[in-house]
């Protein structure tokens, strides 16, 4: 797992390295310090070893005055405070394509949130099975409310037809939720 800073860096030379924690695992790239298993176990970035469990931080996009906050799997159950109408909540959740599920919106009141984007599955570099899906919500008004996500049965389409989004909850699927306080 990579931190947000390392996710945006160019990929290093595609040569595996050795994990400095377990010394038996291989890293995805020579420049990485931890293998995937140790990164997940220690909750640290594979590349720079920074903690991945740091709270969500506000980010202002270059050339924009709009504030956005990015939240991930680890932020399940948290509350985003001091948000304002016009700001965005970016939700990035991990998916495993072999599970036959994908993340979808379970609950986000239209009176408070507008879904700006429900992105496609984006695989991790050199790994087509695991990756992320991103959702962007704009805050429309003041108040406190939840955004709830759930795993849904993955929808399929033919090569000439885009898949329609599924609305069927996955049996034993995971749920994810944050509370947004806007003033």
- Give the Cα separation of 83 and 60 in Å (integer): 13
Name the DSSP letter for residue 30: T
Q: How many CB atoms lie within 10 A of CB 135?
A: 21
The reported pLDDT for the residue numbered 179 is: 94
- CATH of 58-182, picked from 1.10.10.10, 3.40.120.10, 2.60.40.2020, 3.40.50.720, is 2.60.40.2020
55-71 pLDDT tens trace: 444 444 444 445 788 99
Residue ranges per domain, the chain? 13-53, 58-182
Q: Pick from 101, 75, 112, 109: which is nearest to 90 by CA?
A: 75
Higher pLDDT, 29 or 138: 138
Q: Could you give the CA distance from residue 31 to residue 9 in angstroms, rounded to a whole number?
A: 12
Task: Confirm if 93 and 74 have CB atoms less than 8 A apart.
Answer: no
CA-based end-to-end distance of the chain: 34
Whole-angstrom Cα Rg for the chain:
18
Band of residue 93 on the pLDDT scale cut at 50, 70, 90: very high
pLDDT of the residue at 149 = 93
Most confident of 41-50, 90-99, 113-122, 142-151: 142-151
Q: What is the mean pLDDT of the chain?
A: 81
């Amino acid at each position: 797992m990579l931190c947000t800073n390392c996710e945006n860096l160019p990929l290093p030379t595609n040569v595996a390295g050795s994990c400095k924690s377990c010394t038996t695992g291989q890293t995805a790239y020579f420049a990485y310090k931890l293998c995937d298993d140790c990164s997940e176990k220690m909750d640290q970035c594979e590349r720079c070893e920074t903690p991945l469990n740091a709270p969500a931080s506000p980010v202002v996009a270059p050339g924009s005055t709009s504030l956005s906050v990015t939240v991930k799997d680890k932020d399940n159950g948290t509350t985003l405070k001091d948000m304002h109408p016009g700001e965005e909540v970016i939700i990035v959740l991990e998916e495993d394509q072999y599970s036959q599920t994908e993340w979808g919106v379970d609950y986000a009141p239209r009176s408070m949130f507008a879904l700006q984007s429900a992105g496609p599955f984006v695989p991790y570099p050199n790994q087509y099975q695991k990756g992320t899906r991103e959702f962007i919500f704009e805050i429309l008004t003041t108040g406190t409310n939840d955004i709830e996500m759930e795993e849904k049965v993955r929808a399929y389409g033919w090569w000439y037809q885009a898949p329609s989004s599924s609305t069927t909850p996955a049996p034993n699927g995971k749920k994810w939720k944050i509370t947004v306080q806007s003033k």
